[in-house]
Amino acid sequence: GQSLEQPSEVTAVEGAIVQINCTYQTSGFYGLSWYQQHDGGAPTFLSYNALDGLEETGRFSSFLSRSDSYGYLLLQELQMKDSASYFCAVGSQGNLIFGKGTKLSVKP
Amino acid sequence: NAGVTQTPKFQVLKTGQSMTLQCAQDMNHNSMYWYRQDPGMGLRLIYYSASEGTTDKGEVPNGYNVSRLNKREFSLRLESAAPSQTSVYFCASSDRDYYGYTFGSGTRLTVV
């Protein structure tokens, strides 16, 4: 079967660093993506890792280890506007399979 | 540049009624997708179209049909709505497999 596991909720304070982990089990693997979704909004693309290692985009970084079927999203210098749900997604069999999402709450 | 446009934004149906959700993209993307999102369930793929003229089933296709009318438009039809189809429906498009999907703003559907 295919499955992605990520924590359901994470809480952090403004200015801190938070890491959201994702483990996956899929038939075929074509990269790990991360999406952000604010309440009532649409998912928006954040990052994509096709190969092992770290990708950095501003305050956000994403990491992939294909041998461990594991990745994470790292958010630095947290801001209140980062409060949202974050979804990992794996490319498999022609499309994206999404995890159930991690709700990040940033406190002042 | 509108990106992906979905209509309607909200809809209430009675059980057994039919309706079509419309989706159009103006980014010249080849691939288009329909997802549903339920609380605690993440996004689940209903149908997708890798190119004009082709459609394939996703994880949860039962009770739905799709039409890829042309490269821009991909519609989702509920022939006989059921309360279990109450959900938020998102259309998405991309120009590369597995990468950088652009989502529409969603259709919030309630079936009573």
Is A91 within 8 Å of chain B by CB? yes
Would you state the pLDDT for residue A50?
93
Kindly determine whether residue A97 and residue B45, on different chains, have CB atoms separated by under 8 Å. Answer: yes
**Size of chain A, expressed as the number of residues it contains:** 108
Position A31 pLDDT exceeds 70: yes
* Mean residue pLDDT across chain B: 94
Would you state the pLDDT for residue A95?
80
Position A94 pLDDT exceeds 80: no
pLDDT in tens, B14-50: 999 999 999 999 999 999 999 999 988 889 999 999 9
Kindly determine whether residue A43 and residue B42, on different chains, have CB atoms separated by under 8 Å. Answer: no
Residues of A in contact with B93 (CB under 8 A): none
Report the chain B residue with the minimal C-alpha distance to residue A4. Answer: B42
Report residue A59's pLDDT band, with 50, 70 and 90 as the boundaries: very high
Residue B20: which of B66, B69, B62, B51 has the closest Cα? B66
Kindly determine whether residue B45 and residue A87, on different chains, have CB atoms separated by under 8 Å. Answer: no
Would you state the pLDDT for residue B43?
94
Q: How far is A29 from chain B (nearest CA, A)?
A: 10
Position A27 pLDDT exceeds 90: no
Position A34 pLDDT exceeds 70: yes
**Dihedral sign for Cα atoms in the order A13, A75, B32, B44:** negative
CB < 8 Å & 24+ apart, contacts of A101-105: A101/A6, A101/A8, A101/A37, A101/B42, A102/A6, A102/A7, A102/A8, A102/A9, A102/A10, A102/A20, A103/A8, A103/A9, A103/A10, A104/A9, A104/A10, A104/A11, A104/A12, A104/A18, A104/A20, A104/A75, A105/A9, A105/A10, A105/A11, A105/A12
Identify from A96, A98, A102 which residue to disrupt to test chain B contact, counting B C-beta atoms within 10 A and taking the largest count.
A96
Kindly determine whether residue B58 and residue A96, on different chains, have CB atoms separated by under 8 Å. Answer: no
Would you state the pLDDT for residue B1?
62
pLDDT in tens, A64-84: 999 999 999 999 999 999 999
Kindly determine whether residue A98 and residue B44, on different chains, have CB atoms separated by under 8 Å. Answer: yes
B4-7/B19-25 β-pairing: antiparallel
What's the rounded mean pLDDT across residues A26-55? 94
Strand ranges (DSSP E) for A27-83?
A: 32-37, 44-49, 53-57, 60-65, 70-75
Report residue B80's pLDDT band, with 50, 70 and 90 as the boundaries: very high
Residue A96: which of A31, A13, A15 has the closest Cα? A31
Kindly determine whether residue B97 and residue A30, on different chains, have CB atoms separated by under 8 Å. Answer: yes
Question: Across the A/B interface, how many CB contacts are shorter than 8 Å?
Answer: 57
